[in-house]
Amino acid sequence: MAGMQNIREGLTGNLTKIIVIAIIITFVGSIGWAGFFSQGNANIIAKIGSKQITSTDLSFEAASQQFLLNQRFPDQKIEDEVLMEISIESLIRKFGILDFIESNDLNLTDSFVFRELAKDEQFQENGRFSEQTFEAYARSNGFIPQDYLNRIKQDLVLEFWKQSLIKSSFLSEEEVQESLTLAEQERDISFIRIPATNFSEEVETSETTLLDFYNENITEYVTEKKTRVNYLSLSAEDLKSSIDIEDSDIEEEYQRYADEFDTTVRKSVSHIMLNIDSDKTKQEAIKVLENTKARLSAGEDFSALVAEISEDEGTKESGGNLGVTDGTLLPPEFEEVLSDMNEGEFYGPIELNSSVHLIKLTKREIPTPKSIEEMQAQIKESLITESALADYSDLLDKSSDLVFTMGSISVIAEELNLQSTDSGLFSINEVTEDLNAAPILEIIFDTNLDNNLIELIETSDKTAILFERSEFHDEKIIDFNSIKEEVSQDYKSLATERLANEFVNKTLANLNEGQDLNSVASNSDFKLETYKGLKRDSSLLTSQAIASIFNLPRSKAGNVHGSSVSKNGDYLIYRLDSVESKVTQMDAETKKGFSDYLTDQRTLSEYSELSFAFQENSEVTRPN
């Protein structure tokens, strides 16, 4: 757990910034979900050990899960009930882990999280972190700032815990070699191929049979809902082209930038860290760093000594680089001595709670504002954007008013001097990008909605759609006579599959009772074929067939059978004849990459197992 202590002291590398950005990205695009819940009333949904899951927690989790599901299944609508079930299960696992972590006194402070958020420009004002900007961002997404901060803190703690698992997981040389041997294993099989036509030719149909099948599967023969929409796209981006910025405006904005420019000294800092733990006392760590300091004084390279001595895995690859501080981002023990250090100097040892450090001031610089020539394009773009957003806000307000006073989209379009778009009839699977937003789709495919009702939906903080449904066709059952051929094909396909499975299962049962595959082939007039040297990456069979063959026990080679379907739909029944293990020689770099991949897979498996173990072993109670 030493790694967690380092986190609490604020000595992390680029990993934290990546995590924080990932958290921020998760919430972008999730705007609106917070409104689904009552933010002001944190009702208790469940208790996990000492932790309470509130409606606010569920709000955050639902927003995250919906974003992730939309990324994975962009064309599918996620039902609210399904989303809630997924979110609650995820929270139970998450809070089970958090309960364990916090019971071991492993927490992050608000100040630490703010220091990490400061690495993202959208939370900066004049180059420095602004808590007000952070709070405004949280509120603009519909969240209470402290709730948002707590969620980020939770996700950081969980990610660091996961990273500690990754760093502690390893595979022995023997395990790597065994996995490599399994990956390169080859198998010989004998098989018979039964064409699907052998079974389809046995299928007989009649009017009565097809009609019965049609009625039993009536829900499969329904037309899709289709709708038609006239709409206007409102966008801040589209307004930019009509905006002119005067040179005087640019000069005024530049002067404001220059007046407010932060000239606080910036210091780039690196360090060498030793943990204080059961293997090393504080005195021993100090002695090692005193010796390291002497070696530096003798002219040895700092980065080389970082690679040799430092135990901070997060900065070891970057020469111990802790980043750039303005006097507030590193622990006070560091900042105090850095203020008097010169560029290139090193200092230490410095003692923290569970570690000792030697620091080096690698670079000191006083920021200077850019010239107006350098800033002109950026300032102009910023002013255009600002003006476009103001115009967009006015357009949104005017459009909202017109919805209640005008009778049709065409009249509103004329009033706004915009061109409306006719979507034409389309199903939910044919929706265009403009209209592909859950709130819009819910309205335009609502069976109970009257046509010609005008709605305005904001799809983001810079875009909106003003629309009117002009036509709607509800789903309806398709007449049997008009799709008789389709019904016939569906019936034959299912009947063929049933007959084939019956034959395959019966044949496998006979083989397991001692019948030989050769006799099956000769009695059925099927050709017995062989496949030598089959490997896991073979493209001649389906992945399911490959997996099935390699799951057959090698100890029963010559007397174990299986079945699968080939790529062209034919059925295969096969026997595992022999297994050959090959030892492949890899160069050191390739072998390391293979080992790292296996370690990652093991870590993910262990993390998943631990997560579910915490869930199963946690005491979960839910209010009535």
- Give me the CATH number covering residue 6: 1.10.4030
Q: Which of 7-11, 87-91, 97-101, 319-323 has the highest mean pLDDT?
A: 319-323
In order of 123, 321, 329, 337, 367, the CA distances from 267 in angstroms are: 20, 11, 11, 12, 11
The whole-number pLDDT of residue 20 equals 44
> Do 506 and 399 fall within a single domain?
no
Percent of the chain clearing pLDDT 70 (strictly above): 82
Does 54 lie in the same domain as 132? Answer: yes
pLDDT average, residue stretch 137-146: 70
Domain that holds residue 567: 185-221+482-580
Residues 509, 544, single domain; the answer is yes
Total number of domains constituting the chain: 4
Residues 276 and 398 in one domain: no
pLDDT at residue 518 greater than cutoff 70: yes
The pLDDT tens digits for 522-531 are: 888 788 999 9
**Distance between CA atoms of residues 102 and 105, nearest Å:** 5
Q: Of 442, 403, 395, which is closest to residue 32 (Cα–Cα)?
A: 442
Which range scores top for mean pLDDT: 85-94, 155-164, 435-444? 435-444
Q: What's the CATH code of the domain at 281?
A: 3.10.50.40
SS3 of residue 251 by DSSP: helix
Q: Is residue 305 pLDDT above 60, yes or no? A: yes
Q: Are residues 13 and 161 in the same domain?
A: yes
- Please give the average per-residue pLDDT across 7-17, as a whole number: 40
Note whether 154 and 197 are same-domain residues.
no
- Residue 473 banded pLDDT, cuts 50, 70, 90: very high
> Considering the domain boundaries, does residue 248 fall inside one?
no
Asked if 292 and 399 sit in the same domain, the reply is no
Residue finishing a domain among 473, 491, 526: 473
Q: Is 250 inside any structural domain?
A: no
126 plus 145 within the same structural domain: yes
| Per-residue confidence (pLDDT) for residue 75, from 0 to 100 | 65
Look at residue 9 in the predicted model and tell me its pLDDT. Answer: 40
493 falls in which pLDDT band (50, 70, 90)?
Answer: very high
> On the CB side of 141, how many CA atoms lie within 13 Å of its CA?
22
pLDDT at 176 over 60: yes
With beta carbons less than 8 A apart as the criterion, state whether 20 and 53 touch: no
Average pLDDT of the residues in 537-564: 89
Tokens, residue 293 = 């300091």
Residues 353 and 288 in one domain: yes
User: Does residue 589 lie within any of the structural domains?
Assistant: no
Residue 592 within a domain: no
Q: Which residues contact 256 (CB under 8 A, 6 or more apart)?
A: none
- Please give the average per-residue pLDDT across 256-269, as a whole number: 88
Range scoring the smallest mean pLDDT among 86-95, 169-178, 404-413, 582-591? 169-178
- d(C-alpha 169, C-alpha 166), whole Å: 5
Does the pLDDT of residue 413 top 90, yes or no? yes
Q: With H, G, I as helix, E, B as strand and everything else as coil, classify residue 209.
A: helix
Tell me the average pLDDT across 296-315. 91
Average pLDDT over residues 75-88: 77
Q: Nearest to residue 532, comparing CAs of 574, 578, 568?
A: 578
Residue 320 CA to residue 322 CA, distance in Å, equals 6
* Cα 572 to chain centroid, rounded: 38
Q: What is the pLDDT of residue 94?
A: 81
Tell me, what CATH number does 549's domain have?
3.10.50
Residue 86 lies in a domain: yes
Per-residue pLDDT, averaged over 46-74, amounts to 76
Cα–Cα distance between 318 and 13 in angstroms, integer?
9
156 shares a domain with 47: yes
Same domain, 9 and 95: yes
Exposed/middle/buried for 310, CB within 10 Å: 0-12, 13-18, 19+?
Answer: buried
pLDDT at 622: 59
The answer to whether residue 254 is domain-embedded is no
| Residue 506 lies inside a defined structural domain of this protein | yes
Mean pLDDT of 151-178: 71
In a domain, 179, yes or no: no
- Burial (CB count within 10 angstroms: exposed 0-12, middle 13-18, buried 19+), residue 419: exposed
Residue 391 sits in the same domain as residue 466: yes
